[in-house]
Amino acid sequence: MVSQKIAILIPCYNEALTIGKVVADFKMHLPYAEIYVYDNNSKDETVAIAKKSGAIVKHEKKQGKANVIFKMFREIDADLYIMIDGDDTYPVDCIKQMVDQFTENNCDMLVGDRLSNKSYKNENKRAFHNFGNNLVRALINVFFGSDLKDILSGYRIFSRKFVKNYSSSIKGFELETDLSIYALHYGLTIEEYSIHYRDRPEGSESKLNTFTDGFKVIKLFFNLVRLYKPLLFFGTVALLLFTLGLIFMVVPIREYFEYQYVYKVPTLIFSIMLIIVSLLSFATGLILDNISIIDAKNFKVRYNNTL
């Protein structure tokens, strides 16, 4: 494990209260790793404290956690990457066990699972966060045929191949959802390690907005279903439109058989339009599904050839 070049990635925005402890914990439990703190326009003493603690400090001006992580992935060269928040909510004392599991099982991504025990439910004081976590987890597991316990954890380990091949257009806290669905779509090896989550210390404020960020995550999920499972997405739309078309067509058909004449011509035209659009939607799904299959095959070639 020591022979691997390990990089600790800590994106930060106003984490002066906790960043020093997070860096110190990694220096204690993983002394041979390089610790990177990328500041995202903090207004407090985050940068000064991180430097004093011995971290390599850099900056990302584009606001948003995803923007920071993308820059880290692009600039930092390592064999193994550990992503963690700077708010001291994730335990560092188990990091050696996490790295061992990741290395021994040749994972592409290992997720720090907060939800398999009661620590997150007991510690997290933010309303609706437990509900949001369960909803997103259920949606992804159903649509992608997985059995992941924690979709939104910000504590993850990545392989070099994962980091150098990952790409996305998101900007903020939807990052964890995108990482999970990306790995599931391309058939990468994902494992989880149960951790004990703790809430932020008093005086430390979360940057998450329960409803705004929750809506963004749900919106991202359906956009990714459209992107990664186009036949399912457009096929569902086609089925709904086709069903509506048949329902609207009942009245004109009944009129024709009863009076040998259609009085509600606009209804007939509307129903035919719905059926035509449904067929176009289904055809679109078929075409995009073939493109998605080809993309997945090309991705595997690129991924396996990454040094």
Q: Residue 188: helix, strand or coil by DSSP? A: coil
pLDDT of residue 214: 73
pLDDT of residue 1: 47
CA 227, CA 231: separation in Å to the nearest integer? 10
Which residues are CB-contacts of 94 (< 8 A; sequence separation ≥ 6)? Answer: 193, 195
CA 10, CA 72: separation in Å to the nearest integer? 9
| Residue 307: pLDDT band with limits 50, 70, 90 | confident
What is the Cα 67 distance to its own chain's centre?
14
Beta bridge partners of 193: 112
Higher per-residue pLDDT: 219 or 18: 18
Among the listed residues 19, 58, 17, the one whose alpha carbon sits nearest the alpha carbon of residue 40:
58
pLDDT of residue 129: 63
**Inter-CA distances, 257 with 106, 261, 262, Å:** 67, 8, 9
Q: Residue 298: helix, strand or coil by DSSP? A: helix
pLDDT tens-digit series, residues 60-72: 999 999 999 999 9
**Inter-CA distances, 56 with 8, 46, 51, 104, Å:** 10, 12, 7, 28
Beta bridge partners of 156: 83, 111
pLDDT of residue 205: 66
| Segment 197-216 mean pLDDT | 71
Side-chain half-sphere exposure of 191, counting CA atoms within 13 A: 15
Structure tokens belonging to residue 238: 């086609």
CA 52, CA 35: separation in Å to the nearest integer? 12
CA 211, CA 134: separation in Å to the nearest integer? 15
**Residues 48/21, Cβ–Cβ less than 8 Å:** no
AA identity, residue 79: D
pTM score, whole prediction: 0.87
Higher per-residue pLDDT: 172 or 42: 42
- Among the residue ranges 26-40, 135-149, 276-290, the one predicted with the least confidence is 135-149
Examine the pLDDT at 23 and tell me if it is beyond 90.
Answer: yes
Q: Which residue has the tokens 């993309």?
A: 295
**Residues 59/73, Cβ–Cβ less than 8 Å:** no
Query: Domain 6-226, what architecture?
Result: Alpha-Beta Complex (3.90)
CB atoms closer than 10 angstroms to residue 47: 18
Among the listed residues 62, 63, 64, 55, the one whose alpha carbon sits nearest the alpha carbon of residue 9:
55
pLDDT of residue 215: 82
pLDDT tens-digit series, residues 226-245: 999 999 999 999 999 999 99
CB atoms closer than 10 angstroms to residue 69: 24
Q: What is the CA radius of gyration of the chain?
A: 24
Sheet strand arrangement including 34-39: 56-59, 34-39, 6-12, 80-83, 156-159, 109-113, 190-194
Side-chain half-sphere exposure of 161, counting CA atoms within 13 A: 17
Examine the pLDDT at 142 and tell me if it is beyond 90.
Answer: yes
- Proportion of the chain above pLDDT 70, given as a percent: 92
